[in-house]
């Protein structure tokens, strides 16, 4: 009886197969996050042309929101695209610069910048284009 039970149990485990999907690779998200972080550091590292701590702070102080976002979007590496969102103090984020639609999963990177007495949140929503990884 024990042998029959063992035979039945082993055949059932052989026939029953549960497929568990693999988890999403974090490399895809890490690539997008790294691209966003490096673009923000690039913009914050540029010297101001006239007055300010850096080029991004200067553009925000001059209310050139499209210019600030376009500067960041143009600095992205090939194969990546981003929407740029700006929020002043506790206001709602608004898109500036070139606005596109994602063709897959996205990652959003945020950075807080102070301009005079205002706190700005710069957000980049990034995604891959053209099959880039």
Q: What is the DSSP string of 18-69?
A: ---PPPPPHHHHHHHHHHHHHHHHHHHHSPPSSSSSSHHHHHHHTT-HHHHH
pLDDT at 12 over 70: no
Decide if pLDDT at 88 tops 80. Answer: yes
> Tens digits of per-residue pLDDT, 22-77?
555 566 678 889 999 999 999 999 888 888 789 999 999 999 999 999 999 999 99
7: buried, middle or exposed (CB in 10 Å: 19+, 13-18, 0-12)?
A: exposed
Which residue in the block uniquely carries the two structure tokens 């929407």?
83
Round to whole Å and give the CA distance between 5 and 130: 56
């Amino acid at each position: 009886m024990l042998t029959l039970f063992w035979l039945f149990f082993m055949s059932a485990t052989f026939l029953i197969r549960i497929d568990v999907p693999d988890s999403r690779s974090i490399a895809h998200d890490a690539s997008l996050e790294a691209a966003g972080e490096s673009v923000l550091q690039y913009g914050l590292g540029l010297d101001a042309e006239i007055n300010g701590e850096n080029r991004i702070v200067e553009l925000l102080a001059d209310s050139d929101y499209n210019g600030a976002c376009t500067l960041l979007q143009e600095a992205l590496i090939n194969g990546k695209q981003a929407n740029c969102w700006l929020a002043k103090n506790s206001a709602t984020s608004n898109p500036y610069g070139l606005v596109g639609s994602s063709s897959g999963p996205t990652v959003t990177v945020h950075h807080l910048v102070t301009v005079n007495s205002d706190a700005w949140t710069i957000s980049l929503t990034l995604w891959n284009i053209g099959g880039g990884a």
